[in-house]
Amino acid sequence: MEMPLVEILRSMEFEGVAIDVEGLTNYSKELELTLVDLEKQIKSFVDFDFNVDSPKQLGDVLFDHLKISAKAKKTKTGQYATSEDILVKHEKDHEIIPMILDYRQLRKLKSTYVDPLPTLCDAVDGRIHTSYMQTVTATGRLSSNSPNLQNIPIRSARGKEIRKMFIPRNEDFKLLAADYSQIELRIIAALSDDKNMIEAFQKGYDIHAATAAKVFHVPLEEVSRDQRSSAKAVNFGIIYGQGAFGLAQNLGISRTIAKGIIDGYFEQYASIKTYMDKAVNDARENGYVETIMKRRRYLPDITSANAVVRGFAERNAINAPIQGSAADIIKLAMVAVHEAMKNTELKSKMILQVHDELVFDVHKDEIDELKALVKTAMEGAIKMVVPMEVEMEIGENWLDAH
């Protein structure tokens, strides 16, 4: 699996990806104007000047001058903690907080992506060439650096604008994005052999709605949006070993209600609970866990006397085989896709891998052929008790193709 991938990654690094330099330059100017405006608004709450980018000065403004909380804690250096997770807790305490969070998000987008990307274009072909690494992550996932193209934002509206700047190589091409639908949930269904979840996937149900129907004991067609959101949070939270406290924070509900939802979940998906307990016990006994392709992750802290350290290792024992198996599957898919593309001598190129997603420069004459080829290769990369499902979109940029 890994050795054939070396040549594929070399080819992807060599091809690179085109970006809209002019678009990024204009977006940078737009962000700068918004940041200047936001900075003025933030400073208007006090009658003196201060540096919004200084955690110490900001902490003093928030907790000494505006007194947004009496419980504010200071760090070892004697200044107030103003990290994102701290500020989010106070989001409703004062109107300045959402502005600061917005300011920081925009500042990070601008300094991490919008401004550096144009400077990283190759002098010869004008494209961006990342480096993929096979031996960095503990789970077996690929990682990317110089620049990291696996971390381009997608959740926020402003972050999505950056994806819009990734474009096809020329007017003869479009971008095709193909990604696995809910691959980690399909893997946990297969690994745990949970009949209820397997049935939902085999019948092509909306898995979050199907989960909500079972947990809240309502017919599938009567599941509310809130119930589906709760079920979705549990589905994904379970993979990362999230408990009632984490779910309560995530959904903004009481811990009692969160515990009730999780208890209901394990009642309906009993095999998943059994699988999770077994994963932890096996890790304790063997000292490691394995993916479906037998990649091992050693977990020496699983027997630690420190409950916090041990708890982290236990969550990894549950998550590593799932996330690692997803990494195995996409790698197998890349090998299969590359082989099929080589055999058919296509002009199209595979240019990016972002965990569960593959991105291609597709020649306009080859769109239907490549879509069929990619779907067959990705969905057939491995045979499991649940079907693999691949979603594909074509676009004039990466955002449109997502």
- The residues facing 132 across adjacent strands are 144
pLDDT tier, 86 (very low <50, low <70, confident <90, very high otherwise): confident
Q: What is the pLDDT of residues 256-270, one digit of tens each?
A: 988 888 888 899 899
pLDDT of the residue at 98: 92
% pLDDT > 90, the chain: 75
Instruction: Please give the average per-residue pLDDT across 296-325, as a whole number.
Output: 95
- What residue has token string 């300045």? 96
pLDDT of the residue at 85: 84
pLDDT of the residue at 374: 97
DSSP annotation of 365 = G
Position 68 pLDDT exceeds 90: no
pLDDT of the residue at 171: 96
The whole-angstrom separation of Cα 238 and Cα 396 is 36
The per-residue DSSP string of 231-268 comes to HHHHHHHHHTT--HHHHHHHHT--HHHHHHHHHHHHHH
- What residue has token string 């949930």? 185
Q: Is 145 helix (H, G, I), strand (E, B) or coil?
A: strand
Q: Is 296 helix (H, G, I), strand (E, B) or coil?
A: strand
Instruction: Please give the average per-residue pLDDT across 97-124, as a whole number.
Output: 94
Q: What is the pLDDT of residues 126-135, one digit of tens each?
A: 999 999 999 9
Full set of structural domains in the chain with CATH: 1-17+127-191+321-402 (3.30.70.370), 21-124 (1.20.1060.10), 192-320 (1.10.150.20)
pLDDT of the residue at 247: 85
The per-residue DSSP string of 67-80 comes to ---TT--B-TTSSB
Position 15 pLDDT exceeds 80: yes
State the helix-helix crossing angle for 367-379 and 307-343, rounded to 10 degrees.
140
Position 239 pLDDT exceeds 80: no
pLDDT of the residue at 372: 97
The whole-angstrom separation of Cα 170 and Cα 249 is 46
Position 377 pLDDT exceeds 90: yes
Q: What element of type H or E holds 229?
A: helix 225-239
The per-residue pLDDT of the chain, averaged, comes to 93
Q: What is the pLDDT of residues 27-44, one digit of tens each?
A: 999 999 999 999 999 999
pLDDT tier, 177 (very low <50, low <70, confident <90, very high otherwise): very high
- Pick from 20, 28, 353: nearest CA to 164: 20
Instruction: Please give the average per-residue pLDDT across 147-158, as a whole number.
Output: 87
**For residue 148, what are the CA distances in angstroms to 130, 142, 151, 162, 177?**
7, 11, 6, 13, 18
